[in-house]
Amino acid sequence: MFRTFKKLDWFFKLRWKSYTFGVVALIICAILQVLNPKIVGTIIDQFVAGTLNWRTLIFWVSLILIFALVMYGLRYGWRMALFGNSTLIESILRNRLFSHFTRMDAAFFQRYRTGDLMAHATNDLAAIRFVAADGVLTLTDAFSLGGVTLFSMFFFIDWKLTLFSILPFPILIAISTYLGKLIHARYRGALKAFSSMNNHVQESVSGIKVLKALGEEKEDFYAFEKETEKVVEENRGVYKLKAGVNPSIEIVMGLTYVIALLIGGNYVQTGRISIGDLVAFISYIGMMQWPLLAVGSLINTLERGNAAYDRVELLLSNETSIVEAEKPVKKPLDGDIDFDIQSFSYPNEHKPALSHVSFHLKKGNTLGIVGRTGSGKSTIYKLLLRDYDLYKGAILYGGINIKDYALQSLKEGIAIVPQDNFLFSTTIRDNIRFGNPALSQEEIEEAAKTAHIHEDILQFPKGYDTTVGERGVSLSGGQKQRIAIARALAVEPECLILDDSLSAVDANTEEAILASLKQKRSQKTTIISAHRISSIMQADEIIVMDEGQISEKGTHDQLIDYQGWYAEMYQKQQLERKLDGEGA
Ligand SMILES: Nc1ncnc2c1ncn2[C@@H]1O[C@H](COP(=O)(O)OP(=O)(O)OP(=O)(O)O)[C@@H](O)[C@H]1O
């Protein structure tokens, strides 16, 4: 059970001064607390004996007041010390987790669902915080107050009376521990239900547009209703058990009082103890209640904290496979790309997503990639960006393996406009200069002009200061894509990847953007994938992907001559375009 404290010893060592102060203050408080009933007992005895006068009464009362004041100061002190520490450990661990999350690779986020990660960052850290504050407090308080009280009962009042009266105490410890365990088990179920509900909210909110578009809101709501019902049911189970705790404690405590009064009353009559002693003794029994219950709650707090700490440790122990080379090449990316992958499979997948995919891309050239959905186009980019590192083969940039480059060089050298481009809820200017906040207005406009979004931005109410997203202007799909392109262009990457980033842009604008890119980036490398052949037909080389393999390769003219999938798609799209044109 005390393993939990052992696991946190690094933190206790870090804050040893405040912990020492807190623990010493708690012990002094316990001693002072135990003196009070003894004083009251003495006053009663002096009163019964007729020796009580004003001077002694004022002395005793002042002593009680002074004790109260000292305890006030000490209690304030230990609360500040212990609870201040507990928020500190929570924030240390939260920062550790957060920075860990930001360093993790795509495989990690595939393994853990966002809702679960959120649950770890909140519930588990709260359980650990509980150990660092309430756990330490309960342990010290229960042992010091319980120990000192028991000592006083035994030596200051009567040892026999003490032995008889504490007979029901083990029952109390057993009940509180047993019920505590049951509650905890139920509580786990409740947490699980809560975590699953959280995941549902998160998935529904991010997919709300799709849900609505497919008219699935009602079904989703029913499913969600079921999950909330489960949360309520599980929590009700917890409260049912909790409701049983207090009454059972009261029964056991009542039993203790009955024993104390019966035997103690008899002792007073026979003169073995004084009436004041009996009054003090009854107060002591009351004071024993909390330390006894605390033992049960301490066991549970520690167990919960222990499990939470293990889960957090497990998360932190996940190593990212994407690590910096021992002697990283820090120079900027430059030169040709040699992509040669014999085979790559996603984690936990058997079927390779890419097999025997090789191409040579000359610096300054443009590569076009086409193929059905799921044929492996985005996977090629993920490997180029080092989202995944475990594959058979090698990717060279300028003759140097990309795994040997410093991660920073790779990040600065390659910019991607992903399919599901994401804009932040900030101004258009900040969105464009996201990769380089130091960019001047001219440079930002330059990028916007190349992406053919400059004119659109000027039409917005506040121009470049217009906020995008829920709090600002709603952008069309094409505008979002073009801002995302401007953002990628703004960092002037050596290699620009457009992953189906022109799908929502009309054919004429697409042509204009491609022409600007060709002119502005004539010395730099560009990779474009698209469903529309018109987006890539000008490329220096085109590869056609099919089920993770290259099925056709060549220039546009060569592929048309080849009369394969590419030629077929091209003719089909030409026809559609013509029909659309005639229909318009
Ligand atoms: N994170 C992942 N985990 C497991 N499998 C994945 C993952 N991402 C993609 N895949 C699988 O790998 C294959 C190739 O996917 P990829 O996204 O590269 O295709 P794509 O050609 O880019 O498709 P699209 O045109 O729809 O973007 C698909 O079968 C897909 O289901």
DSSP-based three-state secondary structure for 528: strand
Q: Does 532 contact ligand 1 (Cβ within 6 A)?
A: no
* pLDDT at 472 (0 to 100): 62
Share of the chain above pLDDT 90, in %: 33
Is the same domain home to 360 and 472?
A: yes
Q: What is the pLDDT of residue 449?
A: 93
Regarding whether 158 and 269 lie in a shared domain, the answer is yes
In a domain, 417, yes or no: yes
Q: 273 and 215 in one domain?
A: yes
| ipTM, 2 dp | 0.94
* Domain end position, chosen among 317, 346, 381: 317
pLDDT single digits (tens) 195-227: 788 888 878 887 776 777 777 777 888 888 998
Q: What is the CATH number of the domain that holds 406?
A: 3.40.50.300
- Average pLDDT, stretch 321-350? 88
CATH of the domain at 55: 1.20.1560.10
pLDDT in tens, 149-195: 989 888 888 999 999 998 888 888 888 778 878 887 887 788 788 87
Pairing state between β 392-397 and 400-401: antiparallel
Same domain for 441 and 479, yes or no, is yes
Residues 306, 363: one domain? no
Q: Which of 267, 287, 317 is the last residue of a domain?
A: 317
Tell the residue nearest (CA) to atom 12 of ligand 1: 353
* 15 shares its domain with 144: yes
Mean pLDDT lowest among 44-48, 252-256, 393-397, 579-583 = 579-583
Reply yes or no on whether the pLDDT at 584 is more than 70.
no
Question: Does 430 lie in the same domain as 305?
Answer: no
Q: Quick one: which atom of ligand 1 is closest to the CA of 376?
A: 18
Triad 91, 93, 95: Cα angle to 5°: 65
Please tell me if the CB atom of residue 349 comes closer than 6 angstroms to any atom of ligand 1: yes
- Whether residues 163 and 229 share a domain: the answer is yes
Answer yes or no: is 388 within a domain: yes
With 0-12 / 13-18 / 19 or more C-beta atoms within 10 angstroms meaning exposed / middle / buried, residue 49 is exposed
Long-range pairs of 438-444 with CB within 8 A, sequence gap ≥ 24? 439/490, 443/490, 444/486, 444/490
pLDDT digits (tens, 9 = 90+) for 337-349: 999 999 999 888 8
pLDDT in tens, 266-317: 999 998 989 999 998 999 998 888 887 787 778 778 888 888 888 888 888 8
Mean model confidence pLDDT for the chain: 87
Domain limits at 164?
A: 3-317
Q: Looking at the 3D structure of the chain, how many domains does it have?
A: 2
324 in any annotated domain: no
> What average pLDDT score do residues 34-41 get?
87
- Please name the residue whose Cα sits nearest to atom 16 of ligand 1: 376
Probe residue for ligand 1, chosen from 378, 381, 569 as the CB with the greatest number of ligand atoms within 8 Å: 378
Strand-pairing partners, residue 415, are: 496
Q: Which residue has the higher pLDDT, 579 or 45?
A: 45
Together in a domain, 373 and 298: no
Q: What is the pLDDT of residue 229?
A: 92
Could you tell me if the CB of 376 is within 6 A of ligand 1?
A: yes
Q: Are residues 264 and 363 in the same domain?
A: no
Residues 189 and 292 in one domain: yes
> 273, 289, 317 — which closes off a domain?
317
Mutation pick for ligand 1 pocket among 110, 112, 350, 377 (CB with most ligand atoms within 8 Å): 377
Question: In this model, does residue 583 exceed pLDDT 50?
Answer: no
For residues 213 and 350, state if they share a domain.
no
Tell me, in angstroms, the distance from the centre of ligand 1 to residue 378's CA. Answer: 7
The CA radius of gyration of the chain, in Å to the nearest whole number, is 36
- Lowest-pLDDT range, 92-106, 361-375, 494-508? 92-106
